[in-house]
Amino acid sequence: MPSDTTNLNDNSMSWSTEDRKSSLGQCIASSQHILALLGAGLSASSGLQTFTGNGTLWRTYQTKSMATKSAFAWNPVLVWQFYEDRRQKAIAAPPNPGHFALAKLAESKEHFFAISQNIDGLSERAGHDLSKLAPIHGSLLTTTCAQPGCSFVSWNGSALPTVPALSLPPGDITDAAVELPDVRIDDLPLCPKCKYGLQRPGVVWFGEQLPQEHLTRTDEWLESVPSVDLLLVVGTSARVFPAAEYIHRARAKGASVAFFNLEQDDDLIEAGDWFVPGDVATTLPRIVAEALDLPQAAANTL
């Protein structure tokens, strides 16, 4: 019996001795239409922390202030160097078993769809089927165009540097003592589509709208399924828009909800839900392996 999985509707944690599956494992196994909502906690054990927490500094700047359109207008070179630093760290980080477990679920379940609030590209690098992934905050692996109205999007993948001028010096440039190379605006990548705007990191900045393309894809998935059998909330407090809204919409289509998080949020959890505490890189692969009848030894190598 798993000692760390709580079904709030059944504190005996119903456990079939015949098939050795927990109630959540059984639910994943039998569910056809599964929605997942992914947040920063999924990538924590890959060594990536949230960069934009209040009060954190990048060199002498408030980190949060670098993730804005006004910062890019003020100093596009510095903002590009900030994002090249983030790209370099994200690309150096390995996807963890939690990312691979979700990629495996996407592969195994025809009607699986994940909404990701992460920009680190780790789900993509774990092989998560891109047609079943909506990165609603964008991705560090892409660039777009800073010119309003230009629809340019480029998949850069893990290539570093984005352009030669953005090569970073040795050392951690978060530290202002590490000198940044001189880069001219003309050395930054220009948009090949409109040939006017600068390319910019393909992420959503504070104050910007979420990309309509991914919101529409999510809406279409929700409308295409007769019901949502299960919603997996993974590594996110799901308190901010639109994450909280998706919990509501999934419940309206009949979903039970399984929360994989470090801490339980009593305001979001309802009777019949599951709460699985702990590092999702450990808990999620174990339950996915159980649901898909994979050996538990495979949980770390899904």
Residues annotated as catalytic (active site), given as ranges: 137
Helix axes 280-291, 23-30, angle to 10 degrees: 60
Element (H, E) at 71: helix 69-74
CB closer to Zn ion out of 92 and 185: 185
**What is the closest distance, in whole angstroms, from the C-beta atom of residue 197 to Zn ion in the complex?**
4
**What is the closest distance, in whole angstroms, from the C-beta atom of residue 189 to Zn ion in the complex?**
11
145 is in an annotated binding site: yes
**Contacting Zn ion (CB under 5 A), which of 93, 180, 190, 194?**
194
**What is the closest distance, in whole angstroms, from the C-beta atom of residue 209 to Zn ion in the complex?**
17
Among 103-111, 161-169, 186-194, 221-229, the segment contacting Zn ion (CB under 5 A): 186-194
Among 2-10, 90-98, 134-142, 195-203, the segment contacting Zn ion (CB under 5 A): 195-203
Q: Which of residues 126-155 bind Zn ion (CB under 5 A)?
A: 145, 147, 150, 152
Q: What are phi and psi of 200, to 5 degrees?
A: -135, 160
Using the rule CB under 5 A, is 198 a contact of Zn ion?
no
CB closer to Zn ion out of 145 and 287: 145
Strand, coil or helix: 224: helix
Q: Count of residues binding Zn ion (CB under 5 A)?
A: 8
Among 115-123, 173-181, 185-193, 288-296, the segment contacting Zn ion (CB under 5 A): 185-193
Dist CA 114 CA 103 (whole Å): 10
Helix axes 280-291, 97-108, angle to 10 degrees: 30
Give all strands (DSSP E) within 169-271, no chain letters: 199-203, 230-234, 256-261
150 is in an annotated binding site: yes
Q: Which of 23, 27, 162, 32 is nearest to 91 (CA)?
A: 162
**Contacting Zn ion (CB under 5 A), which of 44, 191, 231, 250?**
191
For residue 239, what are the CA distances in angstroms to 4, 40, 247? 23, 13, 10
CB closer to Zn ion out of 101 and 145: 145
Environment class of 210 (CB within 10 Å of its CB; exposed 0-12, middle 13-18, buried 19+): middle
27, 19 Cβ separation under 8 angstroms: no
CB closer to Zn ion out of 22 and 144: 144
Using the rule CB under 5 A, is 249 a contact of Zn ion?
no
Instruction: Say which amino acid occupies 226.
Output: P
**What is the closest distance, in whole angstroms, from the C-beta atom of residue 144 to Zn ion in the complex?**
8
Among 11-19, 71-79, 192-200, 262-270, the segment contacting Zn ion (CB under 5 A): 192-200
Q: Which of 52, 37, 90, 53 is nearest to 237 (CA)?
A: 37
What pairs with residue 22 in β-bridges? 15
How many Å separate Cα 131 from the centre of its chain?
Answer: 15
**What is the closest distance, in whole angstroms, from the C-beta atom of residue 187 to Zn ion in the complex?**
17
Binding-site annotation: residue ranges for Zn(2+): 145, 150, 191, 194
Q: Which positions touch Zn ion (CB under 5 A)?
A: 145, 147, 150, 152, 191, 193-194, 197
